[in-house]
């Protein structure tokens, strides 16, 4: 498997490459965000290890650029910016996992291996055309296993965090869930985080699911609490 390391701290990048190659991976280093975007447009990788503070483009912009180009290569963001707000910003940009510096090498390898196993699992589900996680909703077909939502001729690729949030809402159908519970149960953030950051994800889900996102009927706001998922009646779908 090929891993792209986007890191401008040479000593750290070389250490990561050494350890990844010791684990049997092929690893390449790029120290500039703009060059990384160009490289990813030319060559396929199995995962990207991405720093935030980079020349030309920061890691958030690199992740956004990848997702805008429909490149869903798994991203492990590795950065000194470890505040909960930064973690959520990384998830909003489309990263799949976020590991603050300084970090333990064993944890880094475990996180990366987890991303790669998840990617293989999703590919296997695609090949098997698994139906167990396919949901018909409001004229849309949602395939959480493959991170896809289809509406007519349009296919929307969900980020892993969007899919996890949608799955959580569906599992709690007709129940009000708080922003705090979403932070803890979906993102595993226990610290004092600004819960309003969740609203950005809700806005995106409404764009995907609602006929009129300004008047949401499926992902409803529960004032003073959070949100509630309500499945439309069959006659209204």
Mind listing the pLDDT tens digit for each residue in 82-117? 777 788 788 888 888 888 888 889 989 988 988 887
The pLDDT of residue 131: 45
The pLDDT of residue 196: 67
Q: What is the DSSP string of 109-145?
A: HHHHHHHHHHHHHHHHHHHHT--TTEEEETTEEEETT
Q: What is the DSSP string of 135-203?
A: EEETTEEEETTTTEEEETTEEEEPPHHHHHHHHHHHHTTTSEEEHHHHHHHTS---S---GGGHHHHHH
The pLDDT of residue 42: 94
The pLDDT of residue 31: 96
What residues in the chain have per-residue pLDDT under 50?
Answer: 129-131, 235
Q: How does pLDDT run across 76-89, given as a tens digit for each residue? A: 998 887 777 788 78
Q: Maximum CA pair distance of the chain? A: 61
The pLDDT of residue 190: 59
> Which domains are delineated in the chain?
2-126 (3.40.50.2300), 129-236 (1.10.10.10)
The pLDDT of residue 130: 44
pTM over 0.85: no
Coil, strand or helix at 26: strand
Residue from 109, 116, 111, 113 nearest 98 by CA: 111
What is the b/e burial string over 87-124, where b = at least 16 CB atoms within 10 angstroms of the residue's CB? Answer: bbbbbbbbbbbbbeeeeeeeebbebbeebbeebeebee
The pLDDT of residue 116: 85
Can you list the pairs that 54-57 forms with residues at least 24 positions away whose Cβ atoms lie under 8 Å?
54/6, 54/7, 54/8, 55/8, 55/31, 56/32, 57/32, 57/33
């Amino acid at each position: 498997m090929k891993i792209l390391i986007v890191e401008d701290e040479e000593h750290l990048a070389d250490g990561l490459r050494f350890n990844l190659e010791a684990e049997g991976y092929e690893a390449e280093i790029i120290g500039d965000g703009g060059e990384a975007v160009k490289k990813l447009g030319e060559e396929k990788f199995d995962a990207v290890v991405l720093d935030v503070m980079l020349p030309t483009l920061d890691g958030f912009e690199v992740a956004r650029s990848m997702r805008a180009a429909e490149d869903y290569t798994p991203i492990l963001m590795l950065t000194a910016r470890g505040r909960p707000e930064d973690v959520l910003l990384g998830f909003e940009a489309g990263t799949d996992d976020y590991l603050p510096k300084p970090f333990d090498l064993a944890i880094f390898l475990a996180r990366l291996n987890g991303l790669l196993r998840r990617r293989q699992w999703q590919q296997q589900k695609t090949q098997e055309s698994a139906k167990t996680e396919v949901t018909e909703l409001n004229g849309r077909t949602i395939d959480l296993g493959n991170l896809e939502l289809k509406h007519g001729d349009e296919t929307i690729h969900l980020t892993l965090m969007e899919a996890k949030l949608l799955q959580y809402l569906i599992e709690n159908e007709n129940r009000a869930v708080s922003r705090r519970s979403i932070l803890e149960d979906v993102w595993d953030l226990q610290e004092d985080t600004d819960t309003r950051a969740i609203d950005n994800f809700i806005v995106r889900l409404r764009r995907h699911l609602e006929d009129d996102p300004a008047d949401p009927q499926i992902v409803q706001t529960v004032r003073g609490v959070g949100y509630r998922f309500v499945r439309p009646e069959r006659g209204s779908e």
